C-alpha cells in the first residue's frame, strides 16, 4: 500500500510531516492500483508566541532593602510569568527582590513563551553616619548668638537641615541660633538621612558685674576663713570659687583654707564674670612642733626632747602648758606622756603630744655551756643557756650578731660572749676557754701478699681498733726507718717501695712507721718490720753473692715448708717455716750443680709446685 496527500506523489511511509495549516485529503493505493480517498483533514495554523515582557523596576530605598519588578506588557487572560526560571505566576508583580539581575519569562495559554531583556535591582543606598556636631554658645560680652557646626560626615553630596528636613543647606554651620534645643539631620545623594543627638544653645545675655567680696581670716581658735559676696546679688545669680565646677546660690563661702581665691558670678543667661584674686591669710596658729626625742638608754634612765620646727624670733615653748622658755630642748624627762606647746607673738599656740619611754632593761650576763674539741671534732662549741628567747641576739666579737644561741667551729682559745636584748642593752660573759683536744687512738695492723694491678705485692694496712676513729676522716703518714715520708693512705705497698728504691736482700728487714691523726689532734701509730717483699715464686737463682737473685726468696708468702727435688725426684733440700734460706745448697749444705730443680711450697691455703733453675756462673 502507498499513500499520497492532496494528489501528490505516492510514498510507502504512512506519515506526512512538516505540514502547514490547511485542509488535506490522503489517497491510499494498493498493489493492484486500486485507491481510496479520505475525507478532508484540517491542520490548524501554528500558535503565536507572546511578546517579550516589559517591566518597571522599583529600586530599594533607605528604608526598604528589597526591590520590585512590575510587568506592564503583555498582560491579560491566560498570560503567566516566571522570573529567573522559577515557578510561573498569574500576577505581573515580583516583590522582595534582592540586589541582582533578573529575566522574566512570559507564557500564553498555548504554552508558548518569550524571554525579556535583563532587569537590574540596585543595591540598598547607604545611610549616612549620625552627625557629630559642635555647639558654640552665645558670647555674653558681645551678645553674639550661638551656632552649631557639623564635624562629620562632611563632603560632596551631603546636605544638612536644622528644622527636621524642611529646609536643607550644603554648608556645615548654622549661625544666629536663639537659645533652645536643636538636632541636625544629614542627607546624602541617595536621599538617606541620619539625625544627631540634641544639643542646647543657651539664651544670650550680658555678663554680670564682677563680684565684690569681704574676706574673714583665720584666728587663733578658728583655723579657716570665709568669703562673703557683697555684690552682685539677687534672683538667678549663682557663685563658684573653683572655676565653675560647682555653683551655689548662697553668697558666703565658709571653711576656706588659707590661699588665693577668685569668685565667678553667673546670671540666669549663663553669662559669667570673674573677680580678681581674694586672699585668705594663713592661720596665726603656729605649726605643731616637729621634735627629735632622745629616749632613755641602757645607761641613762631619763630622756630629752628637742624642737626642730618652728623656731626663730618670737617663739617660746612649754612642756607643762604653763612655764614657757626660749630654749629648744627639754632634758631630764622621766618616762611618761608630755605635751609640747609652741606659742608665737600673737599668743596663739599649738600642742604636740610626745612620749618618753620607760628605760630599757639590762639583760643578765649570759650563762654558757662549753663543748670542747674531741679527737674527731677539731673545734669546740659554746652554747648560751640563759638568757634566751624572742628579742635576744648574741655575738662573739660585739660586732656580728646572730639569733642562734650556739657558736660552733671554735678553735682552742679564750672567748667573750655578749647578749643583747630588743632594746639594744647588752651584757657579757668574759674569758670563756676552749681547750685543745687530748687523747690517743688505738690502731690495728695487717700485712701480707695480695693481688694488685701490678701483680702480687706485699701490702701493709692500718685500720681502727674497735672503731676508735673514722678511717675516712683521718690523715695517714708512713715513714721509713730514716723518717722520710713515703705514703699517705691507709695502705702501703712495700713491694712497690722495694722496687722504686732498688732494695736488695741485705737491707731486709725494712721498717715502716705509720701515724694516724684525727681532725681533733689525737694520734695513734704502729711499726711494721718487713722481712721480705717477694710474693711470687722465682723461676731461677744465681747464688754468686752479688745480692741479686742469690736465694729462693718467697718471704712474703708465709710458707710453712719448702722442699726441693732434683730431676730424678730425689729430695735434696727441705725446710719448715721457710722465707729465703735456700741458696742452692743441699740438706748437707753442699752446693748443688747448675740445672733444673723442682719445688713443693706449702702455703697457708694451698700447696704450689713448679720448677726453679740454678745458674752457677763460672
pLDDT at residue 505, as a whole number: 67
Among left, alpha and beta (phi > 0; psi -120 to 50; other), residue 549 is: left
Sign of CA dihedral 91, 92, 95, 99: positive
Q: Say if 127 falls within a structural domain.
A: no
Domain's final residue, options 64, 90, 121: 121
pLDDT given at position 143: 62
Could you tell me if 372 and 330 lie in one domain?
no
Q: How confident is the model at residue 618 (pLDDT cuts 50, 70, 90)?
A: low
Span 376-432, pLDDT tens digits: 788 899 999 999 999 999 999 999 999 999 999 998 899 999 999 988 899 999 999
pLDDT (mean) for 293-317:
94
Question: Rounded to whole angstroms, how far apart are CA atoms 378 and 522?
Answer: 9
* pLDDT for the residue 426: 92
Residue 581 maps to a domain = yes
498 in any annotated domain: yes
Q: At residue 498, what are phi and psi to the nearest 5 degrees? A: -60, -40
324 exposed, middle or buried (CB, 10 Å; 0-12, 13-18, 19+)?
Answer: middle
Strand pairing category for 540-541 and 607-614: parallel
| Residue at 361 is within a domain | no
488 in the same domain as 426: no
Residues in the chain, how many? 618
Domain termination residue (choose one: 96, 121, 146): 121
**Contact 137/201 with Cβ under 8 angstroms?**
yes
Q: Are residues 427 and 448 in the same domain?
A: no
Question: Contact, 415 vs 434, CB < 8 A?
Answer: yes
Same-domain status, 516 and 447: yes
Q: Into how many domains does the chain fold?
A: 8
Q: How confident is the model at residue 142 (pLDDT cuts 50, 70, 90)?
A: low
**506 three-state secondary structure:** helix
Domain harbouring 474, CATH code:
2.60.40.10
The yes-or-no verdict on residue 514 having pLDDT over 90 is: yes
Q: Are residues 276 and 234 in the same domain?
A: yes
Would you place residue 323 in the very low, low, confident or very high pLDDT band (cuts 50, 70, 90)?
very high
Same domain, 562 and 600: yes
Tell which residue, 350, 321, 356, has the closest CA to residue 336: 356
Bridge partner residues of 216 (DSSP): 226
Cα(178)–Cα(200) distance, rounded to whole angstroms? 10
Determine which helix (DSSP H) or strand (DSSP E) holds 560, and give its type and residue range: none
The three-class DSSP label of residue 467 is coil
Same domain, 305 and 381: no
Instruction: Please check whether residues 75 and 108 belong to one and the same domain.
Output: yes
**DSSP string covering 211-236:** PEEEEE---SS---EEEEEEES-STT
Between 540 and 546, the more confident residue is 540
| Residue 535 included in any domain | no
* The domain boundary residue, chosen from 171, 201, 231: 201
Whether 487 and 524 share a structural domain: yes
CATH number at residue 577: 2.60.40
Q: Residue 405 contacts by C-beta under 8 Å, 6 or more apart in sequence?
A: 383, 384, 385, 388, 394
pTM above 0.85, yes or no: no
Q: What are phi and psi of 310, to 5 degrees?
A: -80, 150
Residues 248 and 303 in one domain: no
Residue 510 phi, psi (nearest 5): -95, 145
Structural domain boundaries enclosing 85: 54-121
Mean pLDDT of 570-595: 93
C-alpha 135/C-alpha 81 separation (Å) is 57
- pLDDT for 449 beyond 90: no
Distance CA 380, CA 432 (A): 11
Pairing of strands 523-530, 485-487: unpaired
493 lies in the same domain as 558: no
Residue 505 phi, psi dihedral angles, 5° rounding: -60, -30
Helix (H, G, I), strand (E, B) or coil at 159: strand
Residue 49 domain-assigned (yes or no): no
In a domain? residue 206: no
Q: What is the 3-state secondary structure (H, E, C) of 57-109?
A: EECCCCCCCCEEEEEEECCCCCCEEEECCCCCECCCEEEEECCEEEEEEEECC
Span 98-116, pLDDT tens digits:
999 999 999 999 899 999 9
Work out the mean pLDDT of the chain and round it to a whole number. 91
pLDDT band for 568, please (50, 70, 90 cuts).
confident
Does some domain include residue 465? Answer: yes
Residues 399, 418 share a domain? yes
Amino acid at each position: 500500500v502507498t499513500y499520497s496527500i492532496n494528489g501528490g506523489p505516492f510514498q510507502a511511509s504512512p506519515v506526512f510531516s512538516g505540514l502547514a495549516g490547511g485542509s488535506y485529503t490522503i489517497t491510499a493505493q494498493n498493489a493492484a492500483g486500486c485507491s481510496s480517498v479520505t475525507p478532508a483533514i484540517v491542520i490548524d495554523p501554528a500558535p503565536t508566541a507572546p511578546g517579550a515582557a516589559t517591566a518597571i523596576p522599583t529600586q530599594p530605598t533607605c528604608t526598604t532593602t528589597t526591590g520590585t519588578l512590575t510587568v506592564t506588557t503583555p498582560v491579560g487572560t491566560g498570560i503567566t510569568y516566571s522570573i529567573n526560571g522559577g515557578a510561573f505566576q498569574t500576577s505581573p508583580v515580583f516583590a522582595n527582590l534582592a540586589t541582582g539581575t533578573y529575566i522574566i519569562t512570559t507564557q500564553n495559554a498555548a504554552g508558548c513563551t518569550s524571554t525579556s531583556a535583563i532587569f537590574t535591582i540596585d543595591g540598598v543606598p547607604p545611610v549616612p553616619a549620625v552627625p557629630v556636631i559642635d555647639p558654640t554658645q552665645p558670647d555674653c560680652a558681645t551678645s553674639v548668638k550661638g551656632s552649631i557646626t557639623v564635624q562629620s560626615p562632611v563632603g560632596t553630596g551631603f546636605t544638612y537641615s536644622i528644622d527636621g528636613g524642611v529646609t536643607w543647606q550644603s554648608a556645615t554651620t548654622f549661625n544666629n541660633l536663639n537659645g533652645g534645643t536643636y538636632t541636625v539631620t544629614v542627607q546624602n545623594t541617595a536621599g538617606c538621612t541620619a539625625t544627631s543627638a540634641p544639643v542646647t544653645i543657651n539664651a544670650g545675655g550680658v555678663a554680670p558685674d564682677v563680684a565684690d567680696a569681704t574676706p574673714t581670716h583665720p584666728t587663733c581658735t578658728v583655723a579657716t576663713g570665709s568669703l562673703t559676696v557683697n555684690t552682685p546679688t539677687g534672683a538667678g545669680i549663682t557663685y563658684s570659687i573653683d572655676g565653675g565646677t560647682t555653683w551655689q546660690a548662697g553668697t558666703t563661702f565658709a571653711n576656706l583654707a588659707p590661699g588665693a581665691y577668685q569668685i565667678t558670678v553667673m546670671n540666669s543667661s549663663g553669662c559669667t564674670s570673674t573677680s580678681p584674686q581674694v586672699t585668705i591669710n594663713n592661720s596665726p596658729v603656729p605649726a605643731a612642733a616637729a621634735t627629735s626625742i632622745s629616749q632613755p638608754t641602757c645607761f641613762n634612765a631619763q630622756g630629752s626632747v628637742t624642737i626642730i620646727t618652728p623656731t626663730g624670733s618670737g617663739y617660746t615653748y612649754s612642756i607643762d602648758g604653763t612655764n614657757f622658755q626660749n630654749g629648744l630642748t627639754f632634758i631630764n624627762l622621766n618616762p611618761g606622756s608630755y605635751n609640747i606647746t609652741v606659742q608665737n607673738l600673737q599668743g596663739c599656740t599649738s600642742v604636740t603630744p610626745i612620749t618618753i619611754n620607760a628605760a630599757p632593761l639590762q639583760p643578765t650576763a649570759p650563762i654558757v655551756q662549753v663543748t670542747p674539741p674531741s679527737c674527731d671534732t677539731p673545734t669546740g662549741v659554746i652554747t648560751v643557756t640563759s638568757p634566751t628567747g624572742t628579742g635576744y641576739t648574741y655575738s662573739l666579737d660585739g660586732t656580728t650578731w646572730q639569733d642562734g644561741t650556739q657558736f660552733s667551729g671554735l678553735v682552742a682559745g679564750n672567748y667573750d660572749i655578749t647578749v643583747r636584748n630588743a632594746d639594744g642593752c647588752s651584757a657579757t660573759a668574759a674569758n670563756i676557754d676552749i681547750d685543745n683536744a687530748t687523747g690517743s687512738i688505738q690502731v690495728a695492723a695487717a700485712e701480707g701478699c695480695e693481688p694488685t694491678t701490678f701483680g702480687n705485692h706485699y701490702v701493709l694496712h692500718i685500720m681502727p681498733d674497735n672503731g676508735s676513729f673514722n678511717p675516712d676522716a683521718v690523715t695517714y703518714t708512713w715513714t721509713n726507718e730514716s723518717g722520710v715520708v713515703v705514703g699517705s693512705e691507709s695502705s702501703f705497698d712495700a713491694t712497690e717501695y722495694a722496687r722504686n728504691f732498688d732494695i736488695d736482700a741485705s737491707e731486709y728487714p725494712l721498717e715502716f712507721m705509720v701515724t694516724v691523726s684525727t681532725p681533733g689532734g689525737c694520734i695513734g701509730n704502729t711499726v711494721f718490720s718487713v722481712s721480705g717483699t717477694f710474693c711470687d715464686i722465682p723461676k731461677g737463682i744465681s747464688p754468686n753473692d752479688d745480692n741479686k737473685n742469690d736465694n729462693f726468696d718467697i718471704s712474703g708468702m708465709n710458707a710453712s715448708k719448702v722442699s726441693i727435688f732434683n730431676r730424678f725426684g730425689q729430695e735434696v733440700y727441705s725446710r719448715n717455716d721457710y722465707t729465703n734460706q735456700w741458696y742452692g745448697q743441699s740438706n748437707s749444705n753442699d752446693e748443688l750443680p747448675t740445672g733444673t730443680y723442682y719445688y713443693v711450697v706449702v702455703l697457708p691455703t694451698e700447696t704450689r709446685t713448679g720448677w726453679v733453675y740454678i745458674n752457677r756462673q763460672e
